Amino acid sequence: MAVQSKSSADSVQEIPNDQPKTIRRLVLVTGDKGGTGKSVVARILLDIYRHRNIKCIAYECDKSNPQLYRHYNKVYPGVETLKLNQRGGADALQDDLKRYSPQVSLVDLPAGAAEYFESVAKDIFLFQNAQRLGYRITMVSVLGRVKDSVLQLKRLVDFCGDRVDYVVVKNLYWGDEHKFTRYNNSKVKQSVEALGAVELLLPELYDDIFDLIDSKDLTFREALEHEDFSLSNQSRIYGWIDTVETELNRAAVQLGLE
């Protein structure tokens, strides 16, 4: 049996006796603005879920830059789209939890979603219904080095509190982990750590390799065998995937990777 985190175990105790006891995961990937690496994290997570045959429904909510949909909709069973800016646009998210009971639901939120996540969550009673259906929510916050990254995370923590688990991802495209001084010296870092947050590092992938993957709408694993990539670059992609997967496994419980 998989080992659960303390927060997950506490959630099981709170579920009424007539409700599911197995905690599954609703994983929401957030970032302050376009370019932080939010969708890259969502893409590699879905890549791993599909590779490991983990039952996962994935949702694209970023209509301005639908990377998750572009790269992974062709991989069965595809990627659904949600229009969170429309009334009732998030209904399908939790209705599908009840209808299909996936082990993981992965949601790539629009950039800056913390600004309206509160109203969406209240509108569909997200926290109550997730718990009733046996799901624990994980907020994955992908950080850049700008002030907005910290402000977005603070807003999520202020609203969600201990009702969710937190995974904080430092995107090393913006420099090594010690250069994230705004976050490292912030009170929000202390707050999420007190709530049991797991802090992860997203290694940088060479720009030219990433751009070629992006231009051809490939999944990361498709690029490993694509003819347009040299053997050296295929090796770099393999090494990047392996490093990221090892890093994400540090939050295996929170991300539903077990």
The answer as to whether 18 is a domain residue is yes
Question: How sure is the predictor about 17, in pLDDT bands with cuts at 50, 70 and 90?
Answer: very low
Residue 185: which residues within 8 A CB-CB, separation 6 or more?
none
How does residue 21 score in pLDDT terms, banded at 50, 70 and 90?
A: very low
- 192 belongs to a structural domain: yes
| Strand 135-143 to 104-108 pairing | unpaired
* 154 pLDDT tier (thresholds 50, 70, 90): very high
User: What average pLDDT does this structure show over 197-212?
Assistant: 96
The mean pLDDT of 36-44, rounded to a whole number, is 94
Please say if the pLDDT value at position 8 is more than 60.
no
Q: Give the tens place of pLDDT for each residue, 226-251.
A: 999 999 999 999 999 999 999 999 99
Q: Is residue 36 part of a domain?
A: yes
> What are 99-150's pLDDT values in tens digits?
999 999 999 998 777 777 888 899 899 999 999 999 999 999 999 888 888 9
Contact call for residues 241 and 234 (beta carbons, < 8 A): no
> Regarding predicted confidence, which is higher, 161 or 36?
161
- The answer to whether the CB of 155 falls within 8 A of the CB of 115 is yes
pLDDT per position as a tens digit, 155-188: 999 999 999 999 999 999 988 999 999 999 999 9
**Residue at 1 is within a domain:** no
∠ Cα 23 27 33 (to 5°): 160
- What is the domain extent for residue 24? 6-255
Identify the weakest region by mean pLDDT among 5-9, 190-194, 202-206, 253-257. Answer: 5-9
**pLDDT of 20 strictly over 60:** no
Structural domains of the chain, count? 1
Say which CATH number the domain at 242 has.
Answer: 3.40.50.300
In this structure, is residue 168 part of a structural domain?
Answer: yes
* Coil, helix or strand at residue 84: coil
Distance CA 31, CA 33 (A): 6
Domain presence at residue 219: yes
Instruction: Kindly report, residue by residue over 63-104, the tens digit of the pLDDT.
Output: 888 999 999 999 999 999 998 877 788 899 999 999 999 999
Neighbours of 179 (CB within 10 A): 12
The pLDDT value recorded for residue 102 is: 97
Q: How large is the average pLDDT for residues 190-199? A: 98
Amino acid occupying residue 75:
V
The pTM of the whole model exceeds 0.85: yes
pLDDT computed for residue 97 by the predictor: 94
